[in-house]
Structure 1
Amino acid sequence: MKLILKRIHTYFYRYSVAFFFILCWPVLYLLGKKPEYYKYINIFRRAIAFISSACSGIFYRATFEEPIDWSRTYVICPNHTSNLDVSAISIHLHNNHCFMGKAELLDNYILGFFFKTIDITVNRESKMSSFRAFKIAAEKLKDNVSVIIFPEATIPDVYPPALHSFKNGPFRLAIEMKVPIIPVTSLDTWKVLWDTGLEYGSRPGICDIFVHKPIETAHLTLNDADALRDEVHAIIKQKLQQK
């Protein structure tokens, strides 16, 4: 019975997201027509994420290791355990940003809109697609748009989730573009909703994320990419072990 209620909650949350997205659709449609208006789309994504989650009794709390200068541009690397991670990050990162995600998300009615406008898709099976995606990401950084990349490249398929190894892409990108990298630890979003929520359902609750201090990369070379990757992995792993 408990699992049934949790699955009902998941569908309520999903329909809440859809409802508020449709409510905002006329404005989003107009904003999506002109790239110069893309920066305003994040405002609506943030509002949809907050209101739809709040209607479902889901709230997000962020702790910052130190104040972040949001006038700067960053490569942001969170661990990934839940679809709620995107909402948590969207709400608490107060600059113009975009996500990099798998190409399959283009087929999603809601997420597809964002990936056809402000976000970046990548086909993990294609080296050419990956090259194009990171080239676009580099252009975004040049335009003062921070890029959010989940370095695990997927939500772990084990429950409870364990931190997987990181891909090199985000760290090479940060070094090449000489922008700081911000590790973000998603501490317990999976306890509220793991993965898509369809298997174990979801529940009302507070999701905590920890935003670590930026790591400067201006002094690094591409030979340091592996070391930077391992440093960020260790930072997030240590924070998860403290929870």
Structure 2
Amino acid sequence: MSILKRLHYFYFIFWILLFFLLFSPLYFIFTKHPKYYTTLNKLRALNAFLCTAIAGVFFKFDFQKELDSSQTYIYCANHTSNLDIVLFCLLAKGRFHFMGKEELIKNPVLGMFFRTIDIAVSRESKISAFRAFKRAGENLEKGMSLIIFPEGKIDDQYPPVLHEFKNGPFRLAIEKSIPIVPVSSINVWKLMWDDGFKHGTRPGIGNIYIHEPISTRTLGVESAEDLRKEVFNKINSKLQR
């Protein structure tokens, strides 16, 4: 790793922590009740833009078809970087929430959200997964879009490759008749892989391809496997290097 990437990593982390501290009083207020979640997400988007822009990191969103801002979606994306959370704060609109690994509850920046608006799930516990998807389903019924990374984690392989998806989000999409939006995060790992510590970070433009939403309205739960494969193939089609 070059010294410039190492220096940029510490510079980037400094601004992430500083902006979080500046925003944290507002976060404390707006995480108190779901009626504030739309405002909370606008704050998260502003925070995301400021800390990335000052570090020279930007995102280019390429839409196959424009999304309906009034529609509730399940966003499914490949997961290669902590920046994936940041970019979805900029991409998603209105009331949305994330589902992520249980360890994020203890994260100094993300923990506040995963104890309130977002959903933490243990990869090792079927009971935890059941409770997490039950809560996600209830939130979807209330009009809160869900952002999920169906690989379940950032893999240890570098450069990253797309790994098999978990079934949960696809069954949920069918059961709740919520359209799925496949999202290909094409090169964000080059700006920051995982948390950035091992390979450093660098400024640049992250290219994101948002595929046309897939309707689940006419599907039965027996189609979950086919839906999983379809979403996997769509995401992977933009990742071939």
Q: TM-score, normalised by structure 2?
A: 0.97
What is residue 18 of structure 2 aligned with on the other side?
19
Q: 83-92 vs 123-132, which deviates more?
A: 83-92
Query: Please, which runs of 5 or more residues in structure 2 have no aligned partner?
Result: none
Q: 211-220 vs 89-98, which deviates more?
A: 89-98
Normalized per residue, the structure richer in helix is 1
* Alpha-carbon offset, residue 239 of structure 1: 1.4
Q: Name the SS for the 1:131 alignment partner.
A: helix
* Alpha-carbon offset, residue 226 of structure 1: 0.3
What is residue 51 of structure 2 aligned with on the other side?
52
What is residue 166 of structure 2 aligned with on the other side?
167
Residue identity matched to 1:226: E
* Alpha-carbon offset, residue 9 of structure 1: 1.0
Equivalent pairs, count: 241
Residue identity matched to 2:29: L
In structure 1, distance between residues paired with 2:63 and 2:171: 25
What is residue 43 of structure 1 aligned with on the other side?
42
1:93-117 deviation per Cα after TM superposition (whole angstroms, max 9, x unaligned): 2232100001100101110011112
Residue identity matched to 1:73: T
In structure 2, distance between residues paired with 1:149 and 1:115: 13
Residue identity matched to 2:169: P
In structure 1, distance between residues paired with 2:236 and 2:32: 41
* Alpha-carbon offset, residue 173 of structure 1: 0.5
In structure 1, distance between residues paired with 2:79 and 2:52: 18
Q: 202-211 vs 39-48, which deviates more?
A: 39-48
8 Å contact kept, 2:37–2:95:
no
8 Å contact kept, 1:38–1:117:
no
Q: 30-39 vs 70-79, which deviates more?
A: 30-39
Residue identity matched to 1:74: Y
What is residue 140 of structure 1 aligned with on the other side?
139
Quick one: structure 1 residues 193 and 20, their matched pair in 2 at CA, closer, same or farther if it must change by over 3 Å? Answer: same
* Equivalent runs, 1:1-243 vs 2, <5 Å: 3-241=2-240
In structure 2, distance between residues paired with 1:205 and 1:185: 17
State the percentage of identical aligned residues: 48
In structure 2, distance between residues paired with 1:29 and 1:163: 36
Query: Please, which runs of 5 or more residues in structure 1 have no aligned partner?
Result: none
1:169-208 deviation per Cα after TM superposition (whole angstroms, max 9, x unaligned): 0100000000100000000000111111110001010001
Q: Name the SS for the 1:240 alignment partner.
A: coil
8 Å contact kept, 2:69–2:93:
yes
Residue identity matched to 1:239: K
Cα RMSD for the two superposed structures: 1.0
Residue identity matched to 1:143: K
In structure 2, distance between residues paired with 1:88 and 1:26: 23
Q: TM-score, normalised by structure 1?
A: 0.96
Q: Name the SS for the 2:2 alignment partner.
A: helix
In structure 2, distance between residues paired with 1:67 and 1:95: 15
In structure 2, distance between residues paired with 1:24 and 1:77: 28
* Alpha-carbon offset, residue 81 of structure 1: 0.8
* Alpha-carbon offset, residue 33 of structure 1: 2.0
Quick one: structure 1 residues 229 and 125, their matched pair in 2 at CA, closer, same or farther if it must change by over 3 Å? Answer: same
* Alpha-carbon offset, residue 24 of structure 1: 1.1
* Alpha-carbon offset, residue 38 of structure 1: 2.2
8 Å contact kept, 1:41–1:118:
no
